[in-house]
Amino acid sequence: MTDYCMLIGGERVPAEGGRTLPIMNPYTGEQVGTLPDASATDVDAAVAAARTAFDTVWSRTPGQARAELMLRLAAIYERRAGHLGDLESTDNGKLVSETRNQARFAARQLRFFAGYADKLYGRTIPMDNPDLFDYTRREPVGVAALITAWNSPMQLLANKLAPALAAGCTVVIKPSEHASMTTLELADMVQEAGFPDGVVNIVTGGVTCGAALTGHRGLDRISFTGSVPTGQAIMRAAAETLVPVTLELGGKSPNIVFEDADLDRAVIGALAGIFSAGGQTCIAGSRLLVQRSVYDTMVERVGARAGRIRLGDPFAPGTQMGPVANEPQQARIEAAIAAGVDAGARMVQGGPVGDDPALQRGLFVRPTVFADVDNHADLARREIFGPVLSIIPFETEEDAVALANDSEFGLASGIWTRDLSRAHRVAARLDAGTTWVNTYRVSGAQAPFGGTKKSGHGRERGEEALDEYLRTKNVMIDLAPTLADPFPLEEN
């Protein structure tokens, strides 16, 4: 059992009144620790500490010095990747192979953005009046609140923390109450790296803590990853404070298989798209659109392969899919499957976990595949955030684009084709922040990521991410030897 503390102004502190929430392991069902359940007073203290650190230290710290601290933190992430991965898998049930890689990805993000910290150039701007010398400065916005979801806490946090620190912002981080351990471990890591007190603050808890933070008047930027309803609540609160908001929300991403695709590759891409991480990823390719002439083959092959995915202990080397991360999420997934069946959808793979002894104690949901799904049915419209695939047939390229874009989400999309012209043509027409061609669910620190429509706005990763944490100041200097006087004094 580990009883974690928060990090506020360099101090390791419990929540006001000592309130805590349990940390549960979704595979064993056991409690493995507690996390502080922060109040509005705790949040006030964290925002105040971030403000003081911004005003007195961090905004005056040269880019090279910020970069050096970030590189030290990256090295610590790498050194501790095994331990961090173990903690994350204990917290959210994801395969340890994936969570360890996410720790390494956090290191990569920090290194990528550290490179920008001393290269935040402004511009000189030629003016119509040659006596005016005009230039811009790119300045940090100030204090940023970084709020993350439970499915990939380390990776989601790195998407925000690395550009924020590089830009010169101080931060108050709030992870999900369902998976806070690796974020709370960060407290030790930033102290070991030598960050000044108050640059990184960490508060934990549920809705009370989240709402107190995102409604706080002391912020300059909110960056949120989570569900649409919470994103909407945050924007409503931000309408009062006028704090700008970056939103990384949900998806119902189309993965489109054309008849000219390499079908072996497309089957792998369809499975990876939806069943990696048990479908608990925002970018899950949860709608598989398949051209009619290869439709039956794809349904048969994807269904058969889905049925052979090995579920089990996320720490066991042979396991291909772990349990669902928490009880409320398992209940939501099972309800969506039951509603699909009730609505008459054709289930080609799935069903109860049965009596497999390895699956009796975790929160398991079998990989589930529905075929012939109507794109207007709930199964094709609502984000399930679990291992549930809806396969939808289409006739022509035009139909595929129309079906893909007929969604309130616009996060990711995939195209499987050997036709180069078609790949570019369709990529340009898909209303989504990311389009993969002949691959799915790959990412890199350099490549910008984000959504359209209800999947959110703003970009993370890549150079674009810096824009979320910087603002442009214009400086104009009159070089003329005299200044025209609009109110000349009359000669007596």
Residues that bind ligand NAD in the complex, under the rule CB under 6 A: 147-151, 156, 174-177, 206-207, 210-211, 214, 225-227, 230, 233-234, 248-251, 282, 383, 385, 411, 451, 456
74 φ/ψ angles, rounded to the nearest 5 degrees = -60, -45
Least CB distance to ligand NAD at residue 433 (A): 9
Smaller CB distance to ligand NAD: residue 117 or 213?
Answer: 213
Written as one string, the DSSP assignment of 285-333 is --EEEEEGGGHHHHHHHHHHHHTT--B--TTSTT-SB---SSHHHHHHH
Least CB distance to ligand NAD at residue 406 (A): 19
Smaller CB distance to ligand NAD: residue 177 or 313?
Answer: 177
| 211/233 Cα distance (integer angstroms) | 8
Least CB distance to ligand NAD at residue 325 (A): 9
User: Which of the following is catalytic: 88, 98, 185, 248?
Assistant: 248
Smaller CB distance to ligand NAD: residue 233 or 271?
Answer: 233
Helices (H) and strands (E) in the chain, counts: 15, 23
Smaller CB distance to ligand NAD: residue 242 or 483?
Answer: 242
| 33/54 Cα distance (integer angstroms) | 32
- Eight-state DSSP code of residue 164: H
- Eight-state DSSP code of residue 460: B
Radius of gyration over every alpha carbon of the chain, rounded to an integer in angstroms: 25
Least CB distance to ligand NAD at residue 149 (A): 3
CB atoms within 10 A of CB 119: 11
Report the Cα 23 to chain-centroid distance in Å: 21
Q: State which residue has the least CB distance to ligand NAD.
A: 210
In the chain, the N- to C-terminal Cα span, in Å, equals 89
Smaller CB distance to ligand NAD: residue 198 or 456?
Answer: 456
| 433/338 Cα distance (integer angstroms) | 31
Taking alpha carbons only, the member of 261, 270, 255, 253 closest to residue 293 is 261
Least CB distance to ligand NAD at residue 458 (A): 10
Query: b/e map of 162-171 (b: 16 or more CB within 10 Å)?
Result: bbbbbbbbbb
Smaller CB distance to ligand NAD: residue 21 or 345?
Answer: 21
Least CB distance to ligand NAD at residue 281 (A): 7
Smaller CB distance to ligand NAD: residue 211 or 358?
Answer: 211
Least CB distance to ligand NAD at residue 353 (A): 22
| 127/154 Cα distance (integer angstroms) | 45
Is 248 an annotated catalytic residue? yes
Smaller CB distance to ligand NAD: residue 101 or 227?
Answer: 227
| 186/166 Cα distance (integer angstroms) | 17
Write down the residue that tokens 């910020």 correspond to: 66
- Locate the DSSP E strands across 318-466: 346-349, 368-371, 388-394, 409-410, 412-416, 434-437, 452-453, 456-457
Write down the residue that tokens 């974020």 correspond to: 183
Question: Quick check: helix, strand or coil at residue 409?
Answer: strand
Least CB distance to ligand NAD at residue 278 (A): 13
Smaller CB distance to ligand NAD: residue 210 or 350?
Answer: 210
Could you give the dihedral angle defined by the CA atoms of residues 35, 40, 44 and 47, in that order, rounded to the nearest 10 degrees? 60
Least CB distance to ligand NAD at residue 231 (A): 7
Token couple for 221: 């930027």
152 φ/ψ angles, rounded to the nearest 5 degrees = -145, 65
For the chain, the residue count is 492
Q: Would you please indicate which residues are annotated as catalytic (active-site) residues?
A: 248
